[in-house]
Chains A and B, each alone.
Chain A
Amino acid sequence: MRPRRSGVARLVALLLLVTAATFAAASLQLSLGTTQKPGPGVVPLVSAVFLGLAAVTALVGRRRADEGEPPAGAAARAVLVVAALVLVYPAALAWFGFSIATVALVWGAARALDLPARPAALLAVGAVGVSVLLFRVALDVPLPTGLVGF
């Protein structure tokens, strides 16, 4: 029996297929132009078709050795926590500013990676402190201060 594709591989192939269909539909709303002057819809449409074909091939093709299984147990929890942190982070950055949001991000990621609470806090405050000194103070990078102004 042919080995089933991993769940992640099927999910990614489906997402790519949806992306291809969305771009293809949107490209058709744009002008395709003429052979003398290709319109702004040509390259996106051709690329979307390529992406769609590749996604279909990935959906129906044989399983390959480089496809991994979703993590389980503690590894899955760690990945989910870090993924949730990085996805929520931009909103936190806009509201609370770089210092607070990034301390929370680093502390959370370090905890998810099994670092005890106190060393994780030290790492977070240290990394953010050095970054603020280096980038905001020394290099004048306007790191966002957020609504709380810090």
Chain B
Amino acid sequence: MGIWHDLLFGFSVALQPENLLAAFLGALVGTVVGVLPGLGPAGAIAILLPITFGMNAPTALVMLAGIYYGSMYGGSITSILVRVPGEAASVVTSLDGYQMARQGRAGPALAIAALASWVAGTLGVLALTLVAPSLARFALAFGPPEQLCLAALALLTLPTVTGSSVAKAYGLAALGVLIATVGQDPTGGLVRFAPAAVPGLSRGIDFVPVVMGLYGVAEVLRTAEEWMGRSRTDKTDMMAVPRLSRLWPDRDDLRRSAGPTGRGAVIGFLVGLLPGPGNIVSTYISYVLERRLSKQPDEFGRGAVEGVAGPEAANNAATAGQLVPLLALGIPFSSITGLLLGGIMLHGIVPGPRLMSDHPELFWGLIASMYVGNVVLLVLNLPLVGLFARISLLRPNLLAPVVLVFCVIGAFSLNNSVFDVVVLMVAGVVGYLLHKAGYEPAPLVLGMIVGPLLEASLTQTGLILDGQWSAMLQRPLSAALLGLMLVAVLWPLSRWLLRLLLVREPAR
């Protein structure tokens, strides 16, 4: 009863005109971003964060979340029509979706993708509605020692699942924490690492220009390299968008998609709860599972409708799953939820288990807006699919310079300071070099966001436990979290040992 009452309150927030508009604009921008190769949801959220400064917190978060789940659907459009995944979570969809398009079934493939996204997205939000409040209530028992463990756990787990090497990922997470320590010490007020020659450093380095640089400006540099590295024929060889003669799937398509959609929703939500890029990983799991369960596994890769429905359902449900730790614990387990967390903090709201009780309009407004947003996506995407497909053909040399303008305005308007523009540009060049050296920037962002929480809870824990740090093992929750941290450290170590043994095996 309580949850449904609160959800109704959430709908009263989500259905306010400005929040409805934010959900619509977020879903629209997200779809466009998903369609455009290169500029992923993290980049789009980073670039558009400053636009939300003038909005109230629920409206801002509704819009940013709309961009997130909108991009999940947008990515599938170009995957299916031109085999160019707009973002990583749509790579699997292109395997069968593009084959369906080549067989003249682009319309049914897009419709199945939209329907599976809508059904699984809604089921995912329903699960979020049920799970997040219970977890948040449970997490109210968390004190500084548990918060310290949670922050450390986030720093220990996300870097191991980002795709780059574990050492590189931990290094960047540590760099993120270091950058966050520049400026005033959160507990004592001492100004650190700010030489007098650089006065801007004394107020610290804001994470917004860093993120915009890492994802926006660095992307422009990468585009310059890729675009100029192509031959002239490659540049002019623009891909043709298939004609959409028939949009609606037939009864057989719908029957074959029902099971994969349901299973994809469950897989997506559960994988989304775990640290890491759940919306990408879940698509692969769903695809492999559907292929194993199929009576015609040979059809996969040749236009099996199950290969579109399952992964599309999974990546949309994972979006809701990833919001559970963010809303209930205030801890981001992925780079995108880290950016959403940053969006909350920019409005002066402290995320964490008290978010639900202290800011119910934000907590429940966001959840309710996701039900609305999923409907908006369905209504938006079916009729406008042809238009979105054409946006994907926008030449990168027109788009990239405009991204720079957005980044500059966003960074400057944060504090009306040129220093933030300096940070933006330096972060952009550093981001490009990091990318070339095989580093994924997500751990750095996470380090910058979680670092201050880690430092504050470290000091508070020291005071609470009176310096007896072993007492953390006597607190059941912190002991359990310490156990999880141990697993997080030992897991990659055991994989490394196993690999070492397997590599040596043939030499015997």
Q: Which residues of A pack against B, CB within 8 Å?
A: 6, 8-9, 11-13, 15-16, 19-20, 23, 26, 30, 33-40, 42-44, 47-48, 50-51, 53-55, 57-58, 61, 64-68, 70-71, 73-79, 81-83, 86-87, 89-90, 93-94, 98, 102, 105-107, 109-110, 112-115, 120, 123-124, 127-128, 131, 135, 139, 141-144
A residues less than 8 Å from B223 (CB atoms): 113
State the CA gap A139–B412 with chains docked (Å): 14
| Cβ–Cβ contact A35 & B467, under 8 A | yes
Which of B164, B425, B433 lies in contact with A11, CB distance below 8 A? B433
Which of A6, A58, A82 lies in contact with B167, CB distance below 8 A? A58
Which of B193, B401, B413 lies in contact with A109, CB distance below 8 A? B401
Interface of A (DSSP majority class): helix
A residues less than 8 Å from B188 (CB atoms): 39-40
Interface flag for B476 (CB, 8 Å): no
Subset of 26 A-B contacts with CB under 8 Å = A11-B433, A12-B434, A15-B433, A26-B193, A33-B462, A43-B455, A50-B174, A51-B175, A57-B171, A64-B165, A65-B438, A66-B163, A68-B437, A78-B224, A83-B221, A86-B221, A89-B421, A93-B412, A105-B405, A107-B401, A109-B401, A110-B401, A113-B223, A123-B401, A141-B412, A144-B412
Chain B nearest CB, measured from A149 CB (Å): 16
| Cβ–Cβ contact A127 & B402, under 8 A | yes
Which of A42, A61, A127 lies in contact with B458, CB distance below 8 A? A42
Known pairs A38-B462, A51-B175, A109-B220; A102 contacts B438 (CB<8 A):
no
| Cβ–Cβ contact B467 & A34, under 8 A | yes
Interface flag for B357 (CB, 8 Å): no
State the CA gap A98–B224 with chains docked (Å): 23
| Cβ–Cβ contact B174 & A106, under 8 A | no
Chain B nearest CB, measured from A80 CB (Å): 9
Closest-by-CB residue of A relative to B165 is A64
A residues less than 8 Å from B164 (CB atoms): 64, 66
Interface flag for B168 (CB, 8 Å): yes
Interface flag for B185 (CB, 8 Å): yes
| Cβ–Cβ contact B437 & A78, under 8 A | no
- Interface residues in B, total, Cβ within 8 A: 71
| Cβ–Cβ contact B227 & A114, under 8 A | yes
B residues less than 8 Å from A90 (CB atoms): 418, 421-422, 425
Chain A nearest CB, measured from B373 CB (Å): 24
| Cβ–Cβ contact B224 & A131, under 8 A | no
Chain A nearest CB, measured from B100 CB (Å): 31
| Cβ–Cβ contact B462 & A109, under 8 A | no
Chain B nearest CB, measured from A68 CB (Å): 5
State the CA gap A71–B413 with chains docked (Å): 33
Interface bits B397-434 vs A (CB < 8 Å: 1, else 0): 11011101100110011001010011001101100111
Chain B nearest CB, measured from A76 CB (Å): 8
| Cβ–Cβ contact B409 & A131, under 8 A | yes
Interface flag for B390 (CB, 8 Å): no
CB under 8 Å from chain A, chain B span 152-195: 163-165, 167-168, 170-175, 177-178, 181, 185, 187-188, 190, 192-193
A residues less than 8 Å from B418 (CB atoms): 90, 93-94, 144
B residues less than 8 Å from A54 (CB atoms): 167-168, 170-172, 174
| Cβ–Cβ contact A8 & B429, under 8 A | no
State the CA gap A139–B48 with chains docked (Å): 15
Chain B nearest CB, measured from A10 CB (Å): 8
State the CA gap A76–B469 with chains docked (Å): 53
State the CA gap A44–B183 with chains docked (Å): 12
| Cβ–Cβ contact B175 & A74, under 8 A | no
| Cβ–Cβ contact B171 & A68, under 8 A | no
Chain A nearest CB, measured from B283 CB (Å): 20
A-B contacts besides A86-B429, A113-B227, 15 pairs, CB < 8 Å: A9-B438, A30-B190, A34-B462, A43-B458, A50-B170, A50-B174, A61-B167, A64-B165, A65-B438, A68-B436, A79-B432, A86-B428, A87-B426, A109-B401, A144-B418
Which of A89, A115, A143 lies in contact with B398, CB distance below 8 A? A115
| Cβ–Cβ contact A48 & B178, under 8 A | yes
Closest-by-CB residue of B relative to A43 is B455
| Cβ–Cβ contact B229 & A74, under 8 A | yes
B residues less than 8 Å from A113 (CB atoms): 223-224, 227-228, 396-397, 400-401
State the CA gap A47–B331 with chains docked (Å): 19
Chain B nearest CB, measured from A145 CB (Å): 12
Which of B416, B422, B459 lies in contact with A38, CB distance below 8 A? B459
Interface flag for B463 (CB, 8 Å): yes
CB under 8 Å from chain A, chain B span 293-312: none
